[in-house]
Amino acid sequence: MLSLTLLLLTAAPDAPLRAAPAVLLSQTSAEDARGMLERARKLAEELRYEEAVVEYQRYLGLPDRPATERAQALLELGYIHLQLEDVTNAEQRITEALEQDAWVRPPSGAPPKQVELLERVRAQLAARPKLEVLPREDAADPRRVRASLKDPQGKTSEVLLRHATVPDGPYRAARMACEGGTCEGELPTPGSSTNFTAWYFLEALDAQGNTLARAATPRAPLQLSVIEQRAWYESPWVYAGGAAVLIGAAAVFFVAADPG
């Protein structure tokens, strides 16, 4: 376990001011964010909707805000678009709000039109196909990729395993075999080598070839390195005592068992 040490350096009285401590900067950023959100809400209350949209967008451009706070801001922005009769953007913002926080709720006493829109978008999200990479089985072929597919309306025509030998692609496609909500595919071994690294993501497509769901993306693919036909490095899934553990975006290296 690495320890994190915070060093606060005190400059000499005559030294120029170079940078504020990180803690103070963080406090200032949080205060600025809350101020933006309060201004956006005040503008909306005053029916200055166009100005409120700009202020909400400024707030949403800030990094590292709590998911529940962002979700509430997105919901409020969606309702402003609804007031401006921009239903497309209203639905998009509310979709983003629900993706941030599935339990986001309208304010008490919200008009039926707003409540109705939220519930309609919530139902649309629930009906969307969902694709998720499953933990790797310890004894499985290291090239094998397994995924869970949930498709309440049965719109998925095929699931593709898109793979490349470099993170920027180009990505080739291999069709996965799906049965009972589980899909399986294999990352091809380049040539005759037993050692290789692959980047990949999964895509569920409808009959017209439209993307319905993804697990990872071309810009943020999953990565797997195989050495002597054993998984050596994998992101974001790694082994821990025979079970796979999700580690998010962290990179973890570990020594593979003796292939003999």
Indicate the Cα dihedral angle 198, 199, 204, 209, nearest 10°.
-90
What phi, psi does 161 have (nearest 5°)?
Answer: -100, 105
Identify whether the C-beta of residue 57 lies closer than 8 Å to the C-beta of residue 74.
Answer: no
Tokens of residue 123, six digits: 């139902």
Using DSSP, state whether 177 is helix, strand or coil: strand
Query: What number does CATH give the domain 130-246?
Result: 2.60.40.10
> Which of 3-7, 107-111, 129-133, 154-158 bottoms out in mean pLDDT, i.e. has the lowest?
3-7
Domain boundaries, the chain: 22-127, 130-246
Average pLDDT over residues 150-169: 94
Phi/psi of residue 114, nearest 5 degrees:
-75, -45
Distance CA(97)–CA(121), nearest Å, equals 10
**CATH fold for the domain made of 22-127:** 1.25.40
| Its pTM surpasses 0.75 | no
Helix (H, G, I), strand (E, B) or coil at 173: strand
The residue among 227, 224, 219 whose CA lies nearest residue 238 is: 224
Q: What is the band of 97 on the pLDDT scale with cuts at 50, 70, 90?
A: very high
Instruction: List the structure tokens of 72.
Output: 């509430």
Overall average pLDDT of the 2-17 stretch: 37
Share of the chain above pLDDT 90, in %: 63
pLDDT at position 21: 46
Distance CA 46, CA 187 (A): 57
Q: Which two tokens stand for residue 9?
A: 């350096």
For range 100-114, the mean pLDDT: 93
Give the mean pLDDT of 161-165: 95
Model confidence at 190, pLDDT cuts 50, 70, 90, reads confident
Q: What pLDDT, on a 0 to 100 scale, did the predictor assign at position 226?
A: 84
Tokens 């000499």 belong to: 12
Please determine, for residue 50, whether its predicted confidence score (pLDDT) is greater than 50. yes
Are the beta carbons of 224 and 233 closer than 8 angstroms?
Answer: yes
Which pLDDT does position 64 carry in this prediction? 86
DSSP string, 170-230: PPEEEEPEEETTEEEEEPPPPTT-S-EEEEEEEEEE-TTS-EEEEES-SSS-EEEEEETTE
* Calpha distance 49→89 (Å, rounded): 14
CB 131 within 8 A of CB 145: no
Determine how β-strand 172-175 pairs with β-strand 177-179: unpaired
